[in-house]
Amino acid sequence: MQVIDAVKLQRNIIVYAVLAMAVVGLGVALAAIIPLHRQMVRSADQALEHGLDLQVAALRETVDRMGDMARQVTSRSVIRDALSSYNQGAMSLDKLQAFTADKLGDSMKLSRDMLGILRVGRDYRPLVSVGASVPPALWSPEAGEPPALGAPTLIDGRWVLLVSAPILGRDGTREGHDLLLFDAQGLRAIVADVETLGRTGEIILGRLAASGAQVFFPRRDGSAGGDDEVAEAFSRAAIDPEPLYLTRPGAVPDVVLSQRLPGSDWIVMVRQDLAELHSNIDQLVLSVAAGALVLVGFGMVGFVLILRPLTGRMLVHTGDLKRQIKDGERAQAALERALEGTIEAVASTIEVRDPYTAGHQRRVAEIAVAIGRQLGLPAETLKGLRVAGTIHDIGKIGIPAEMLTRPGRLSALEFDIIRNHSADGCEILNGVDFPWPIADMVRHHHERMDGSGYPDGLKGDEILFEARILAVADVVEAIASDRPYRAALGLDAAMREIIAHSGTLFDAAVVDACRVLAAEGRLPLGDRPSLQ
């Protein structure tokens, strides 16, 4: 029996268990990290989008407030009616100016950011001006109708913005325009507020002019103009009100969001280097992955700590098993030796009484085993064959010793008594629980293939194969050695006898095997001088 190498088994169990744990652990970690990474990227993009929304809302509120103030100024009915009177020629310019200037001056209190108001007539000729005057760079009467919302412009070191609204009379006709000059520093502050956008992010405010993207305030890097990316984002935002994601192939992959400021042609754009936008995520995911690896590592160590004592117990157990098997094998070997000794002893008791057949059984056993081996029988069968051969004549124990040892011919009665020895031997051995059919082999060692043998007159396959081998070995040994009634006839005579009756008295295959052994000088006949 093959005993498992327990130490190797223990090592394999631990190695495979730890590997499986590592694979499962890493699999679980990856399964958790990949969706986490995706979710975080989405969140970062959404945060940028949300940031843009906030900027747009802040800018819109500022711009809307300016528009509201302009409409508030134009809708003040007292001074509006005065303008109507002037337009109808019912009021002089001096009177209009004297009447209107104070009221417009009051309106200046609507906002600290309001720098000045210019009221112009139907022909855009300036009529009344309070506070700072409108710089010609922003608007002049020749330009005609002023823009409702101008562009932030740097004039004398100050960012200013012009907002205008028409003055409508009671009948809805246009009586003139109010031009409000605002300090645009608030707008600039909103655009310059890029703290949340990291090192690379910037907010760009501008509009799409005929010549391309017009950027209102200096960019974060100090440049004033828009590049191709800005132009593309502006032109797309001009037609698509939805926030736009734009990643351009190039040295710096950017994520760009742009959105049109509602109620204007202004466009707000947010851009950030994609790597920077996602850099925190990568670091976080890396640290989570490192944590997972550490956990898996601890798990593996823990696994080893648990498995070692467990498999150690298995080692002890298999060690015991090994010892038990060895003990069992030793006990079996001892039993086999005892059996052999007993068999030999039993065989000797017959041979002591019958010196002529002394050694006969042992030699028959040797020859039978040699034939069996030549026929390729298994080792276990050969063991049985040896035992049966050694005691095949045990039945002779009941025959009077003088009958066995007396030289000369036997009477018919004596012959009958001697013929009984195979059946008697079977009787003796029947009660012994051998692992082989020893009793049957002994009973039938005088049976012949044609049914002429005794005691049962069995034929061919009815006879146990081992008994057929014993029959040939018995005859060969008997002829080749001295008998009480004659001298040894020799191996050649023995071989002639069995070959002559091959297939009739003796099994042809057994005879053939015996012939091969004899021809090759491998027949174990012992060292008696009677044999050549």
Longest Cα separation, the chain:
184
- Binding segment (CB under 5 A) for Fe ion, from list 202-210, 368-376, 378-386, 387-395: 387-395
Q: How far apart are CA 422 and CA 445, in angstroms?
A: 7
Cα 442 → chain centroid: 66
Q: How far apart are CA 40 and CA 200, in angstroms?
A: 20
Size of the site for Fe ion (CB under 5 A): 1
CA Rg, the chain, in Å? 61
> Is the separation of the CB atoms in 237 and 258 below 8 Å?
yes
- Residue 122 tokens read as 């139907």
Binding of Fe ion by 354 (CB under 5 A): no
The length of the chain in residues reads: 532
Nearer to Fe ion, 243 or 389 (CB): 389
Nearer to Fe ion, 366 or 393 (CB): 393
Q: Give me the least distance between CB of 487 and Fe ion, in Å please.
A: 20
- Binding segment (CB under 5 A) for Fe ion, from list 163-171, 345-353, 388-396, 431-439: 388-396
Nearer to Fe ion, 260 or 443 (CB): 443
Residue 397 DSSP code: G
Q: Give me the least distance between CB of 521 and Fe ion, in Å please.
A: 26
Nearer to Fe ion, 270 or 475 (CB): 475
Q: Give me the least distance between CB of 409 and Fe ion, in Å please.
A: 18
Nearer to Fe ion, 109 or 409 (CB): 409
Q: How far apart are CA 8 and CA 201, in angstroms?
A: 61
Nearer to Fe ion, 207 or 446 (CB): 446
Q: How far apart are CA 388 and CA 445, in angstroms?
A: 10
- The footprint of Fe ion on residues 176-215 (CB under 5 A) is none
Alpha helices (H) along 108-242: 185-192, 228-239
Q: Which residues pair with 486 in a beta bridge?
A: 483
Q: Give me the least distance between CB of 469 and Fe ion, in Å please.
A: 14
Q: How far apart are CA 214 and CA 400, in angstroms?
A: 140
Q: Give me the least distance between CB of 364 and Fe ion, in Å please.
A: 9
- Binding segment (CB under 5 A) for Fe ion, from list 36-44, 52-60, 287-295, 391-399: 391-399
Nearer to Fe ion, 377 or 423 (CB): 423
Nearer to Fe ion, 51 or 395 (CB): 395
Nearer to Fe ion, 183 or 393 (CB): 393
Residue nearest to Fe ion (CB): 393
Q: Give me the least distance between CB of 442 and Fe ion, in Å please.
A: 9
Q: How far apart are CA 368 and CA 436, in angstroms?
A: 15
Give the strands of the sheet with 153-155, arranged side by side.
126-131, 114-120, 174-183, 158-168, 153-155
Q: Which residues pair with 257 in a beta bridge?
A: 270
Q: How far apart are CA 181 and CA 162, in angstroms?
A: 5
Q: Give me the least distance between CB of 410 and Fe ion, in Å please.
A: 14
Q: Give me the least distance between CB of 448 and Fe ion, in Å please.
A: 13
Nearer to Fe ion, 271 or 445 (CB): 445
Q: Give me the least distance between CB of 418 and Fe ion, in Å please.
A: 9
- Residue 430 tokens read as 């029947």
Q: Which helix (H) or strand (E) holds 284?
A: helix 279-353
- Binding segment (CB under 5 A) for Fe ion, from list 148-156, 346-354, 365-373, 385-393: 385-393
> Is the separation of the CB atoms in 273 and 252 below 8 Å?
yes
Q: How far apart are CA 202 and CA 200, in angstroms?
A: 7
Nearer to Fe ion, 161 or 364 (CB): 364
- Binding segment (CB under 5 A) for Fe ion, from list 129-137, 331-339, 357-365, 389-397: 389-397
- Binding segment (CB under 5 A) for Fe ion, from list 229-237, 341-349, 393-401, 502-510: 393-401
From the number of C-beta atoms within 10 Å of its C-beta (0-12, 13-18, 19+), residue 490 rates as middle
Q: Which of 175, 178, 254, 393 binds Fe ion (CB under 5 A)?
A: 393
Q: Give me the least distance between CB of 495 and Fe ion, in Å please.
A: 20
Q: Give the footprint of Fe ion on this chain (CB under 5 A).
A: 393
